[in-house]
Amino acid sequence: MTRSAIVLGAGMVGVSVALHLRRRGYDVVLVDRRGPGEGASFGNGGLIQREAVYPHPFPRDIAELRRIVGNRQVDTAYHIGALPGLAAPLLRYWWHSEPQRYLDAVRGHAALIATCLDEHMALARDTEAMALLRPIGWMKVFADPNMLDAALAQAEAARRDHGVNFTALDRAGVAAAEPHLLVERAGGIHWTDPFSVSDPHALTLAYARRFAEAGGTLAIGDATTLRRAGSGWQVTSAAGPVEAAEVVVALGDASARVTKPLGYAPPVFGKRGYHAHFGLHGNATLNRPVLDVGSGFLLAPMRAGVRLTTGAEFAQPGAAPSPMQLDRAEPVARALLPLAERVEVTPWMGVRPCTPDMLPIIGRMPGQAGAWCAFGHAHQGLTLGPTTGRLLAEMMVGEQPFVAPEAYRPERFG
């Protein structure tokens, strides 16, 4: 069973890990209870975010905390019953967001983000995925001039320290870039580096096809059946038991449910998000994704229509969907852009896997020979899937990692 691996989880991260391992000669079975890309990779803003060098910290401003506590926002919502179970990880999240400690998160995050465009291109080149990666960037627009000035100052720091590119837009610049906006904004920031993905699910499927074409195996199975099998690992699939010498857990927010019985229980917590698609009236267009900062939602042009996405919702695992943020966002979005009817009846919901220190967990699972971790990417699973896949595959094979892996080591959560 040498040079063989089971990869648990067929989202963008798991598919990328499986493809990179296959390219390095591993026999790989990619196992998920659903098809590739049908979890959190299905629904998001569709951005490969080269500009996202600053992860989302826990708010520390009193006025901002009061706003969130009111629980009537588009960008943040919570279920009161979920708060006791989230108290410990959220307290650690707050602790890591202290300004000096937050710099460690920025350094670790930026090192991964810097590679994201090249690593996606390495998987997409010469495939149908290239048509999905639109080099149009995305925009933040601001109604409040003071918020715009603060954001421009941070953008300048990102350009100086991390090589991020952007264009500052005044009121006329925003109107020229997006002529069908129904309201004026004080200005904006056009992040010019990122790719906008017209169909994130299709992108994950394209990488999964590349994995299968390279000789990898896709299987429907139950990750919770993972157990030791001699010196290797076994999991139950629809076609019977699957065995391999090594296993990679890339199950997003569900990862800890599989690693905990193995003695590793990292404090991963979920942020739920929703989206719905809309048509546009008349000849209206949206040229690129637009985040209306004061309103707290993103509008993105997709194959299925204009996607309206929400921020973060905190709920108990398995709780029924409660798309109140979409209901709050829709009338505001209609005042911003001439949206027509919803495309689908039921909004999509997914869960982003987050860690208290805002960095993913990538590396060898503590105390378990032949077991590896690749989860906890929060809002950046789509962006960082190929980067994580290459980094972990290099670690597993014994190559020199192309990104220093110490900041993401699993043992930091003992």
pLDDT of residue 378: 95
pTM of the model as a whole: 0.96
The edge-to-edge listing of strands for the beta sheet with 240-244 is 240-244, 232-237, 217-229, 27-32, 4-8, 246-249, 371-375, 361-364
Give me the amino acid identity at 371. Answer: A
Helix, coil or strand: residue 335: helix
User: How many domains does the chain divide into?
Assistant: 1
pLDDT of residue 1: 46
For residue 315, give both structure tokens. Answer: 């709920």
User: What CATH number did the domain enclosing 107 receive?
Assistant: 3.50.50.60
Number of H helices, E strands in the chain: 11, 22
Dihedral pair phi/psi, residue 318, rounded to 5°: 85, 0
* 241 is a domain residue: yes
| Rounded Cα–Cα distance for residues 398 and 414 (Å) | 24
First to last CA, the chain: 29
C-beta of residue 248 within 8 angstroms of C-beta of residue 7:
yes
Model confidence pLDDT, tens digit, residues 182-227 = 999 999 999 999 999 999 999 999 999 999 999 999 999 999 999 9
* 175 is a domain residue: no
* 128 is a domain residue: yes
Which ranges of 3-115 would DSSP assign to H, the alpha helix?
12-23, 62-69, 83-96, 99-113
DSSP string, 187-251: EEEEE-SPEEES-HHHHHHHHHHHHHHTT-EEEEEEEEEEEEETTEEEEEETTEEEEESEEEE--
* 37 is a domain residue: yes
* 29 is a domain residue: yes
* 19 is a domain residue: yes
Helix, coil or strand: residue 387: helix
For residue 291, give both structure tokens. Answer: 């985040």
Going from the first residue of the chain to its last (414 residues), give the mean pLDDT of each consecutive group of 10, the final group possibly shorter.
89 98 97 94 93 94 86 87 92 95 97 98 96 98 96 97 98 98 97 98 97 98 96 96 98 96 96 96 97 93 96 91 91 97 94 97 97 97 98 97 98 91
Range of the domain at 35: 1-57+97-132+196-267+357-414
* 222 is a domain residue: yes
**C-beta atoms surrounding 394 within 10 Å:** 17
State the pairing for strand pair 339-342/269-280. Answer: antiparallel
C-beta of residue 278 within 8 angstroms of C-beta of residue 343:
yes
* Contacts (Cβ under 8 Å, ≥6 apart) of 330: 276, 308, 339
* 164 is a domain residue: no
Q: Token match 């690992």: residue?
A: 233
The helix-helix angle for 381-397 and 116-124 (nearest 10°) equals 80
State the pairing for strand pair 27-32/4-8. Answer: parallel
C-beta of residue 106 within 8 angstroms of C-beta of residue 158:
no
Classify residue 127 by its DSSP letter.
Answer: S
